[in-house]
Amino acid sequence: MKDLTFDFFVVPFALALIALLGILAVKYSGWIRGFSSEDKNLMRKGIFSVKSLYALKEVFTESLLHRKMFKRNILLGYMHMSFAFGWFLLILTGNIESRIYSRVHINPPYYPIFLKYFVHDKRVLTFELTSVPGIFRFLMDLILFMLLSGLVLALIKRARSNWFGLKRTTRHTVFDRTAITALWLIFPLRLLAESFTAGQYLGGGFLTNNLGRLFANFLPVEYLSYPTWWAYSIMLGIFFITLPYSRFMHIPTEVLLIFLRNWGIKPSKGSSNISEIEVYSCPRCGVCLDACPVYAVKQNSTPPVYFLQTVRNNKIKENVTFDCLLCGKCQEYCPIGIHNNALRISQRAAFFNNSNGSFDYLPQPLIRKADVAYFAGCMSHLTPSIKKSMLSVFTKAGIDYNFLDADGSICCGRPLIMAGKEKQARLLREHNRNLIIGSSCKVLVTSCPICNKVFKEDYNLNIEVLHHTQYLLRLVEEGKLNMVKSARKVVYHDPCELGRGSGIYEEPRILISKIAELIPGANERTDSICCGGSLGNTEISSGKRHEIKNLAIESLLINQPEIIVTACPLCKKTLQNDTEIQVADISEIVVGALAKNEPATTHQKMEINPVLW
C-alpha cells in the first residue's frame, strides 16, 4: 500500500468545492435573512421538530429517488435517479470505504473521492466478496456502473426524448451546457482513472479491474493513469464552479426548499424569498413544456422553465409574463412543485407601480337576510341560462336564498389579482365582503369557479363557500331534488379554476353520473386542457385562444359524447361557439333532468331553455 494522502491534482477539485460552498453560503444566508419575521419563526420552530424528519424523507424520495419523475415515465425517473441517488451513494459508500483504509478518522474531503489513487490494495482479490474491502470494491463499481447507465440514457434522451415521455426538451444556456458536459465527463473519467490505476497495480472491482487488465494489454496504463486523475479532478472543478450559474443549482437549492416547505413556509402574496428559492430550484427538466397549452400553440417562451429563467437572470419580459393562462397545468406536472402561478402573478404586479382604482361608485344595497347567498358573478351574468337555472333550482328545492349580485355584476376581484393588481382587487373585495357578511348567510354559493376560488382563499369569510356543483350535489343527496337519469353520453370538462385551482374534481362527476352516462375525455382531472378563454392571459391573441380551444375540444370529443358538460360560465361560453355538439353547464342539465319529472311552467321553459333530455 502506498502511504500517500496528497497530490497536486486534488487542487482544482478542492478549490472549486470551497468556492461553491462559499457562493452557496452567501446566497442562502441572504435569502434566509430576508425572510419575514413570521417565516423566521416558522423556521425556528420547525428545525428541531418532527417536520424535519418528514423533510428528510421527502428529500430521499424526491431529490434522490425522483419518485414523481418515475411516475411520469420510468426511463426518465431511472435516468434522474441514477445520477442523483447514484452520486449520493458514491459519496456515502466512498466515505465509508475510505475509513476502512485510512488509519485516522478525519480525512481531507478529497480523500474518498480519489481513494483509488492513494490506495491500491492488492491484498484483496477482485471478486472476493467475503472480505469487507472486497465488498466495498464491488459496491463502488456497481454504483459507478449505475451512474454510467444513467449517462447512457441521458445521451439517448438527446435523440429520443419521446421514449422518456417528453415530446420536447429544453433549450440550454452556455452555463448549462458547460456544466452538463463536465457532469457527463466526470463519471467516464473516474472509470478510466480507476481502471488505469487498477491495470497498473492490480486491484479494483469487477468493472475497473477487468477494464484495467484489458487496457494494460495494449495501453501504457502507467503513463495514462496520472493525467486521467488530473482530468477527473478538473472536470469536478468545472462542474462545481458552473453549478451556481446553471440549472444544477437546483441540486442544493431543492433540498433547502423541501425543508422550508415542510416547516410551513409558503409563497405569500406579493412574492417572498421562498419564491426566489423556488426559482433556483427549477432544474429545467422541461416537463412543463408538454403540459403547457400556450406552448402547444407555439408561443415558445411561456412555460415556467423559460419564464423562471428570465426571473432568475433579471431579464423579465412584459409580454412573456402576461402570456400565460394561469391554467395551472404546469404546476401539476412540475416534479418540484413550484408555485408557478403565484410567481407569475407576483411578477405581474411589478409592472404596475401606482395603479389606483376606486370602486366607491358601487351602491350599497339593502340586503335581505337569508340562509343561502348566491353570487352569480360577471361571467354568469353573461351566460344567463346558468344563473336562471340556479334560481330555478333554489325555488324548486324550497331554499331561502338571496341573490347577491342580482342588480348587476360586481366582479369578485380575482381577474384583477390575476393581472397583478392586488391593491385594486382589495377594494372590490371589501365591497363584496360587506354584501356577503350583511346577508348573514350560512352558505355562499357561486356559479363561477373564479369567484369560488377567491371567496375561499382571499376573503376570510368564515362561512361555507360552495361551487354550485357541490351545492347541487348536496341538494340531490339530501333528497331535495328529484332527477330522472337519461342514457345520453356526457363528457365533463374540468374548468381549470375549479379543478386544479380548487381541487373540485369528484362532485361534478358524481352529479353527472346521477343524470346521464358519464364517459371520459382524453385529458381528465389534473390533466385537462384549458378552454383557452382564461382571464389569466391578457396578451394572447384570439387566434391562439381559438387553437387552444380546439385542442380542448378535440380531447373532449375522443369518445364521441353527445354533450359536453362543464361547470364554469366562461368555459361554457368559450367552448360552445366552436362545437357541433351541445355545451351545457352542469346546473342546466340538472334543471333538464328535473324538468321531465315536474314539468317547468311555460314561463320557465322560455326563460331557462333547459337542456332537453
The binder of another protein chosen from 28, 175, 206, 351 (CB under 8 A): 351
**What is the distance between the alpha carbons of residues 115 and 97, in angstroms, rounded to a whole number?**
9
State which residue, 191 or 305, has the beta carbon closest to ligand SF4.
305
- Answer for which of 146, 147, 185, 282 binds ligand SF4 (CB under 6 A) is 282
Selected binder of ligand SF4 within 147, 192, 257, 292 (CB under 6 A): 292
**What Rg do the C-alpha atoms of the chain give, in angstroms?**
30
Region from 113-121, 555-563, 567-575, 591-599 binding ligand SF4, contact rule CB under 6 A: 567-575
Residues, the chain, total?
613
77 is a contact residue toward ligand SF4 (CB under 6 A): no
Give me the least distance between CB of 439 and another protein, in Å please. 20
The residue from 328, 420, 508, 561 that contacts ligand SF4 (CB under 6 A) is 328
- Gap between the Cα atoms of 171 and 304, Å rounded: 13
Q: Count CA within 13 A, CB hemisphere, residue 305.
A: 24
Cβ at position 59, least distance to another protein in Å: 41
Contact status: 324 vs ligand SF4 (CB under 6 A): yes
Cα–Cα distance between 105 and 414 in angstroms, integer?
A: 60
Classify the phi-psi angles of 467: left when phi > 0, otherwise alpha if psi is within -120 to 50, otherwise beta: beta
Query: Which residue number, 169 or 409, has a Cβ lying nearer to another protein?
Result: 409
In eight-state DSSP terms, residue 560 is: -
Q: Which is nearer to ligand SF4, 12 or 293 (CB)?
A: 293
Side-chain-side CA neighbours of residue 513 (13 Å): 8
533 counts as binding ligand SF4 under rule CB under 6 A: yes
Q: Does 358 bind another protein (CB under 8 A)?
A: yes
3-class secondary-structure state, position 516: coil
CB of 407 to ligand SF4, least distance (A): 15
The entry of another protein, ligand SF4, none near residue 150 (CB within 5 to 8 angstroms by kind) is none
* Ramachandran angles phi, psi of 307, nearest 5°: -60, -45
Q: Which of 203, 212, 267, 286 binds ligand SF4 (CB under 6 A)?
A: 286
534 is an interface residue for ligand SF4 by CB under 6 A: yes
Number of residues that bind ligand SF4 (CB under 6 A): 42
- Pick between residue 8 and residue 361 the one whose CB is nearest to another protein: 361
- Of the candidate spans 129-137, 225-233, 333-341, 584-592, the one that interacts with ligand SF4 by CB under 6 A turns out to be 333-341
Does 353 bind another protein (CB under 8 A)? Our answer is yes
Query: Taking CB within 5 to 8 Å according to partner kind, which of ligand SF4, another protein, none is near residue 357?
Result: another protein
- Going by their DSSP bridges, the two strands 517-519 and 464-467 should be labelled as unpaired
Residue 408: exposure state from Cβ atoms within 10 A (0-12, 13-18, ≥19): exposed
Nearest approach in angstroms of CB 285 to another protein is 31
Phi, psi (degrees; rounded to nearest 5) at 357:
-165, 150
Closest CA to 611 of 587, 575, 580: 587
Residue 261's binding partner out of ligand SF4, another protein, none, with CB under 5 to 8 Å set by partner kind: none
Q: Which stretch binds another protein (CB under 8 A): 138-146, 535-543, 550-558, 579-587?
A: 535-543
Q: Which of 12, 203, 283, 561 binds ligand SF4 (CB under 6 A)?
A: 283
| Residues in 553-572 at the binding interface with another protein, rule: CB under 8 A | 570
Q: What is the DSSP string of 313-375?
A: TT---HHHHH------HHHHH-TT---HHHHHHHHHHTT-SS-----TTS--------SEEEE
HSE value, Cβ hemisphere, 13 Å, CA-based, for 496: 23
Long-range contacts made by residues 253-257, C-beta under 8 angstroms, separation at least 24?
253/277, 253/280, 253/281, 254/62, 254/63, 254/281, 254/283, 254/336, 255/59, 255/63, 256/28, 257/281, 257/336
Options 79, 89, 182, 294; binder of ligand SF4; rule CB under 6 A: 294
AA identity, residue 238? I
Closest approach, Cβ 277 to ligand SF4, in A, equals 13
Q: Name the burial class of residue 188, with classes exposed (0-12), middle (13-18) and buried (19+) by CB atoms within 10 angstroms of its CB.
A: middle
Question: Whole-angstrom Cα distance, residue 273 to residue 344?
Answer: 14
Residue 231 in the binding site for ligand SF4 (CB under 6 A): no
Quick check: 287 binds ligand SF4 (CB under 6 A)?
yes
**Distant-in-sequence, close-in-space partners of 566: CB < 8 Å, separation ≥ 6:** 492, 493, 495, 531, 572, 575, 583, 584, 585, 586
Other C-beta atoms lying within 10 Å of the C-beta of residue 448:
31
Angle ∠(326,330,332) on CA atoms, nearest 5: 110
Q: Does 542 bind another protein (CB under 8 A)?
A: yes
Q: Is 411 in the site for another protein (CB under 8 A)?
A: yes
Q: Does position 365 bind another protein by CB under 8 A?
A: no
Question: Considering the complex, what minimum distance in angstroms separates the CB of residue 522 from ligand SF4?
Answer: 15
Supply the minimum distance, in Å, between the C-beta of residue 334 and ligand SF4.
3
User: Pattern 442-471, binding to ligand SF4, x per CB under 6 A?
Assistant: -------x----------------------
Q: Least distance from C-beta 546 to another protein, angstroms?
A: 9
| Nearest C-alpha neighbor of 283 from the set 526, 86, 66, 72 | 66
Q: Does 325 bind ligand SF4 (CB under 6 A)?
A: yes
Q: Hey, what amino acid is at 223?
A: Y
Q: Which is nearer to ligand SF4, 86 or 532 (CB)?
A: 532
Member of 190, 387, 421, 493 binding another protein (CB under 8 A)? 421
Assess 428 for contact with ligand SF4 (CB under 6 A): no
Residue 454 CB, shortest distance to ligand SF4, in Å, is 13
Kindly list the residues in this chain that would bind ligand SF4 in the complex (CB under 6 A).
282-288, 291-294, 302-305, 308, 324-330, 333-336, 338, 340-341, 449, 495-497, 530-531, 533-534, 568, 570-571, 574
Kindly list the residues in this chain that would bind another protein in the complex (CB under 8 A).
322, 351-359, 361-363, 378-379, 381-382, 408-411, 413, 415-416, 419, 421, 428, 533, 535, 538-539, 541-542, 570, 573-574
